[in-house]
Each structure stands twice: as C-alpha cells, then as structure tokens.
Structure 1
Amino acid sequence: MLNQPTGNLSQYLLKDVEIIQDQTGILSCKIQNPTPAIQANSYYFGHSKWAKNYFEACHRDEKFIDLWQAVIGSWCDKIVVDIGCGPGNLYASLRENCGEPRLLLGVDVSYGALQMAEKLGYMPILADAQNLPFVCEFADMVMLNACLHHCDDMAKVLREAGRLVRPGGLLITDHDPQRSAYNFRGLGFLLWQIRLPFYRLLKRGGHSTPEEQFWSIATEVHHQPGDGVTPELYYEILKPLGFQVELYPHNHTVGVEVLRGNYGKSSWKCRVAQRLSGINPNTPEAALSLMCVARRKI
C-alpha cells in the first residue's frame, strides 16, 4: 500500500509491499526483523552530530572521487540506486563530475540519515537492504559503498542488489573489508585491538567520543579479524545472475590506478599488524578493500 508516491516511482515498487510516505516525502517500508545491526545503523547514522562527522570524514577524498568517477563515467539520464546511502556521501562526492541522474534513489535503515540525503537530492526510502521493495531489472546503476559489512547477511544483500540491475547495467560495491587482509593473529591481533584509544585521541571520524566510537563499531558487523568480503562471495552470487564480475583490491591510497592493478600501500600500522600475523602486506590479498564492478549481460 503506497500513499501518494512521489512522481512515477510507483512503477518501480513491488505491488504487495506496504509502503507509507510521510509529510517530508520519505517513503518507509516496515522492517520485519530489526536486528541489533539494523538498530545500531539506524541509531548511529540517525544521530545528527555523528552523521555529520561521518559525512565530512568518509568517502570524500580525491582518490575516492577519482576511482569512482572512472568507473561510473556519467550517470546523466540514468536510474541510480544507492543502497546504504547514509547521509549521502556518495552523491555529494560525485555530483560535480558525474552529472545528475534521472532518478536517484537512496535506501537506508536510518531515518535521520535519509533526511540529510534528501536535502542533497536523493529520493529517500527507508528499507532493509536484505528485503528491498523494488521490482527486478529497472536500474541502470546500483551502488553499495561501505554497505555490505554493515548488513547481517552480506550474500542476501548482494543478491537483492543484483536483481535490480537491468541487462547492460552496472553494480558497484566498494569499501568493504577484504577478509584475507584482516586475518590478524597473535601480536597483530593485539595491535588491532589497541587501535581504538588512539582513534579517540586523534578525534578520527566516528571515534570522537567513547559513545560515538561504541555505536560506530556496532554498525560494522563484518569488520573484524577473520571476517569480511571474499572474491568467492561476488562470483558465487553475481555470476548466476548473469553478471560479468571484475574485482579490484586496493588500500584506499590510489585513485583510478586501482583499475590497472595498482592497489597501493596501506598505513604502516596495518602493515605491521599484517606482518605480525603472517600476512604479506605487499600482495593483493592484503589489500584492505575489494571493489567489485559487475555488468549484467544483455
């Protein structure tokens, strides 16, 4: 049930999903299973100060823009879905270089974050990424930046995202921790554990106070030693859906060169922790993130 949908959005929504629209224009789907992860993401990204800190600190640097612009090219006159959009970092970073989409849908579990994203130009929809309210194969681009590791079931979210992409369309994910880079053991694991007080001391984004740090970490359910994304996750989920999958490991330190196999170097702290854990930091398996660029075959 949809109460007066904005524009022609109703053609992209499943008919049997109950959706309400409030006076601000935000569409909301009932979240059937509000897990601790969903509640943490809703609370953290809905906190006005913390969301602002995140918006200003994350995914806004030149290397990020350089890489994503090279992958996207232009999204003018395209239907774009940003899953786990948060307060709108992705569009805020890329709008000057990639143009204006015909329709930009932002999906998140945090109402407060969606309010911020709406002001930037998103059409906001509150929904669980594991159970999206959209029809299949309607989007030209579906993007998940720093999203999968915040979700309980990464495989289910990736499958849901994939079904939205039209033939010939793109699915892009990035900034999810690569499992093989975070297999910390022994002294390496100890170094990983004691990083948090230093983050607070530096007032790093998401860590300016103990409370903010607690909730920031609570949102990242798959960002811990022995967890994260793997190449197999992308191949096993996306190839059966008809995608050609390209994976690009990187350390967030180079831009478009990532697409040419230059994954850069991580910080000395990460490299030391990896060395202490028996991980060679000069390998693609040690790269902190794994970017996926998948095009659905026509």
Structure 2
Amino acid sequence: MENSPLISQLSPFLRDDTEAVALKTYLEFPISHLTDGLKANAYYFDNSEWAEEYLTYCHRSDSFKNRWLAASGDWSDKIVVDIGCGPGNIFATLQTKPKLLIGVDVAPKSLEFAAQLGYATVLADAMDLPFKSNFADIVVLNATLHHCDNMEGVLKEAARLVKPGGVLVTDHDPQLSAWDYKGIAKVLWEARLTYYRLIGHGFHKSTTQQQAALDSEIHHKPGHGVTKKLFVDTLEPLGFQLNVYPHNHELGAEVLGGEKGKAEFKYRLANFLSGRNPDSDESALSLMCVAKKSLV
C-alpha cells in the first residue's frame, strides 16, 4: 500500500488484506458490488451544492447536539468511526475533540467537506469496511441505515468495529411503523410525488435534486424503515446491551428519558389516517439505538 499521511494515520486499524488508493483528501477502497442504491447515494452526495446544503441545514440543531452527546458520551481522546458521514454533520455539530475521527462514505465531494472538518476520510462500502475488528471506542451511524440496501448487514459490520466496552449509536432512520401509511394516508403520500413534479420541486430546489434524494433513501417510504426488533435481533447476539428510543427529532437528552416530543401536523395526520395513535411510540418518526458492547 502506497505511503500517504492518511495511510500512516489509519494503517494500525486497516485489515491486512485491504488495498487503498490514496487520493488528495481520502483513501479509496474498491467497491466490488456497486448497487443501484450505492450509485444513488454517491450521485446525490457527490454534488457539491447539495452536500453543502445538507451540511448547513440538516442535523445542526442544539437538540441534536444535546441528544447525541447524551447517547454517545464524550468523544474526547476517543477513536470514533462515523459511517455514512456525508459532509460531516455530526462532528460539525458536536465539536468534540476525539483522538481519531474516521469518516466513511461513498461520495467523494462529501468526503472532501468532511476532511476539511478534521475527519480522516475513507471511501468504502459500508457492507465491507476495510478496518480491523474491535478497535473503535464509538461507532456512529446518523441517517445512514435507511440509505443502505442491507440495513442488517451494515449494522453488523458497524458492530464489528466496536471494541469491548465501546458504544454504537444510530439515529434518524425512519421507524417502519410510523411510515407504514394505510388507506387515504398512503394515497396522499404517493400523490405528493406527482405534486412535486408539477411544481418542479419539494423541499429541494429542483426536480432533479428531489428525485436524486428520493432514489438515495432506499428504506424511507411506506412499508420500509427500522424497528426495535432489527436492533435487538442484530446486536444482542453480538454481545451488545441496548436501548431503543422512539422520538420525533425535536428533543435532546430528554429522548433517553423516554420523551418523544411531537411530530409535525402532517405526520400526525398521516398516522391518524392510518389508524394509529399519533402520540404512541409506534408513531414516532425515528428510533435512536444506543448499544454498548460487553467487556466479555
């Protein structure tokens, strides 16, 4: 493997069977199976304007910072791996001082943004990470699993990196039950796509950006999403003790105390029209999973 500052920095944690290409701001590890989902994510987050917009506006609130610090603990002097780091939203918001912060993504432009923030950046498939097992104090996946074809497989691969006593935290993936719209709620959900096409955009600035975002969100649609069962069945056999917290994005550390907060009216209405209590755990938009790996 060729010499580079990143190679020197990361080599103690890389598997012996890996080969990387050292580029200007990141190490690239070959992706053997480039799925449509990976292509969609690489396309969306490799657009500089869209990546910068995401970095500026998403996951940057005080409540996000408060919730994440409560869940993951202090990053100071820790080895942290951020899988699906994008342009670096978590670190940009938390502003902690880890010993080493590794960011993994499939989009070069996003990795360039992350490198500017202080990440040691790696382009790799989250299903086949180039790292040794059991070396990271903290592994995080924020708004990542639902962008992956195989959520269980990515979760297992992330768990492999966590050292005994370390912690794995995931958040901002849609809860399946809250997004499993039924009847008229599902009709309205599908009609919104036609509306976006008619007006030229939704939240995004153009039809192209809107469609690219939708293509990248593989499991963010009715009938898809994460469940408590997914986390329990995947992580407990690997030696993790975990808690799963349903929430609606607006609260901080209170989420770990069992508070959910209230979703926007449109989501509450959609759950009501689907026959669910909008205030129930099952109607909370996201699940935060905090899993600690056993010392044994």
Q: TM-score, normalised by structure 2?
A: 0.95
The equivalent of 1:268 in structure 2 is 265
CA drift at 1:88: 0.5
Does residue 33 of structure 2 align to residue 36 of structure 1?
A: no
CA drift at 1:102: 0.4
Residues 79 and 139, structure 1, Cα contact 8 Å, conserved in 2? yes
What secondary structure sits across from 1:291 in the alignment? Answer: strand
Alignment of 1:83-232 (within 5 A): 83-95=83-95, 99-196=96-193, 197=195, 207-232=204-229
CA drift at 1:239: 0.6
Residues 124 and 130, structure 2, Cα contact 8 Å, conserved in 1? yes
Q: TM-score, normalised by structure 1?
A: 0.94
- Rounded Cα–Cα distance in structure 2 between residues aligned with 1:19 and 1:254: 40
The equivalent of 1:16 in structure 2 is 17
Residues 240 and 292, structure 2, Cα contact 8 Å, conserved in 1? yes
Q: Which has the higher mean CA deviation after the structures are superposed, 52-61 or 157-166?
A: 52-61
What secondary structure sits across from 2:174 in the alignment? Answer: coil
CA drift at 1:202: 11
Classify 1:257/1:25 alpha carbon distance in 2 versus 1 (closer, same or farther; 3 Å).
same
- Rounded Cα–Cα distance in structure 2 between residues aligned with 1:239 and 1:128: 24
- Rounded Cα–Cα distance in structure 2 between residues aligned with 1:119 and 1:203: 30
Q: Runs of at least 4 residues of structure 1 off by over 3 A?
A: 1-5, 194-205
CA drift at 1:193: 2.3
- Rounded Cα–Cα distance in structure 1 between residues aligned with 2:134 and 2:245: 25
AA partner of residue 37 (structure 1): G
Classify 1:284/1:40 alpha carbon distance in 2 versus 1 (closer, same or farther; 3 Å).
same
Residues 200 and 210, structure 1, Cα contact 8 Å, conserved in 2? no
AA partner of residue 14 (structure 1): R
CA drift at 1:195: 3.8
Residues 3 and 19, structure 1, Cα contact 8 Å, conserved in 2? no
Aligned length: 293
Q: Give per-residue Cα distances to partners, 1:261-289, cap 9 Å, x unaligned.
A: 11111111011111111121111011010
CA drift at 1:203: 7.2
- Rounded Cα–Cα distance in structure 2 between residues aligned with 1:199 and 1:63: 33
- Rounded Cα–Cα distance in structure 1 between residues aligned with 2:217 and 2:248: 18
Classify 1:160/1:20 alpha carbon distance in 2 versus 1 (closer, same or farther; 3 Å).
same
AA partner of residue 22 (structure 2): Q
Root mean square deviation of aligned Cα: 1.7
Q: Which has the higher mean CA deviation after the structures are superposed, 64-73 or 196-205?
A: 196-205
What secondary structure sits across from 1:184 in the alignment? Answer: coil
Structure 1 gap ranges (5+)? none
Residues 201 and 207, structure 2, Cα contact 8 Å, conserved in 1? no
The one of 271, 274, 277 equivalent to 2:274 is 277
CA drift at 1:72: 2.6
- Rounded Cα–Cα distance in structure 2 between residues aligned with 1:54 and 1:87: 8
AA partner of residue 214 (structure 1): Q
- Rounded Cα–Cα distance in structure 2 between residues aligned with 1:273 and 1:127: 37
- Rounded Cα–Cα distance in structure 1 between residues aligned with 2:255 and 2:247: 6
- Rounded Cα–Cα distance in structure 2 between residues aligned with 1:202 and 1:137: 47
Structure 2 gap ranges (5+)? none
CA drift at 1:65: 1.2
AA partner of residue 275 (structure 2): G
Residues 76 and 98, structure 2, Cα contact 8 Å, conserved in 1? yes
CA drift at 1:248: 0.3
